[in-house]
Amino acid sequence: MRYFIRLVLPVCMAMVAHPEGLPLLTHVSGIRQLTAQHADLGYPVRIRGVVTYGAKTGLFLQDETGGIYVDAKGVTLSESAGNFVEVRGRTSSGPLTPVVTQTELRRLGAGALPEPRLLHYLDLAFAEQESRWVALRCRIRMVVADQGRLTFWAAPEGHRFPVLIDGYDGGSPEKFIGALVDVRGVCVRRISGRQVLIGFQLLVPGMEHVTVVDSLPDPWSAPEVSVSELLRPTRGRDPNRLVRLQGVVEFQQFGSGLFLWGDGQGLYVKTA
């Protein structure tokens, strides 16, 4: 007995190769719900929302359902946070969540940044916070100023992550060291080359989104400790506390750090 099988694979392949029949997506939530495989089919997109952070090659946009990254390579961008825009494009898979590509951008006028809920820093690791405008309270342990951008290294409960702030005016950044701040920005999760989540960062469009809740009167007022005391393991001690050290500089890596010698022991001090 012979059996005849009709193959439908060519038809399926044609459907994947020609996605013109895919439905139009008009909300961020509809895009975010796509798997990476479905996002790469190139669903047509037409969404409206507020720009929460703009860069040279893309921007972050948020509507009432969530936030998303819009890849705008080849498009001249002059959009700043708070502008209300319409984006047309196609879906594509991103490093962690779907993004919008093949973008056409139209400014509709002035908008208002959404009012974020103050989050715990561990909340930022969840997928629903990716590309969202969020608020966080954290204590600043290190500050780096470079070419109009200020980078805070925040350290809540022993964990460190960067807060990148645009629009730095060249004032004294030392005043933020040790300060407790409320900061608003876009949450971006960071991944390794193997697509493993390794942390997150906040992108802040300007200093107006940073509020100092409590600050040290002077960074040099921190308690002085010796190198040997700092290196001695002590249970229950805050590893991110602010301290003051004295020692002899043995070697300096400009823009990176230095090696300090004291009490017969060496210590590497990271400066950037």
Is 194 among the domain residues? yes
The CATH number of residue 62's host domain is 2.40.50.200
Q: How many CB atoms lie within 10 A of CB 19?
A: 15
Domain C-terminal end among 88, 110, 132 = 110
Contact between 85 and 61 (Cβ < 8 Å): yes
Last residue of a domain, one of 72, 88, 110: 110
124 near 200, Cβ under 8 Å?
A: yes
DSSP, residue by residue, 191-218? E-TTS-EEEEEEEES-GGGEEEEE--S-
- With respect to residue 2, please indicate whether it lies within any of the assigned structural domains: no
What is the span of the domain harbouring residue 152?
118-214
- pLDDT in 10s for each residue of the chain, 272 residues: 444 444 433 333 323 334 568 999 999 999 999 999 999 999 999 999 999 998 878 999 999 999 999 998 766 666 789 999 999 999 999 888 999 998 899 999 999 999 998 888 888 878 889 999 999 998 888 888 887 889 998 877 667 889 999 988 777 787 888 888 999 999 998 877 776 777 889 999 999 999 999 876 666 777 788 888 878 877 766 666 677 888 888 888 766 788 888 888 888 887 65
Same domain, 81 and 168: no
Q: Which helix (H) or strand (E) holds 231?
A: helix 227-231
Same-domain check for residues 36 and 87: yes
Domains identified in the chain, total number: 3
- The CATH number for 197's domain is 2.40.50.140
One domain, residues 185 and 106: no
Q: Describe the chain by its helix, strand, coil percentages, rounded to 5.
A: 15, 45, 40
Quick one: CA torsion of 85, 91, 95, 97, rounded to 10 degrees?
A: 80
Q: Please indicate, yes or no, whether residues 97 and 145 belong to a single structural domain of this protein.
A: no
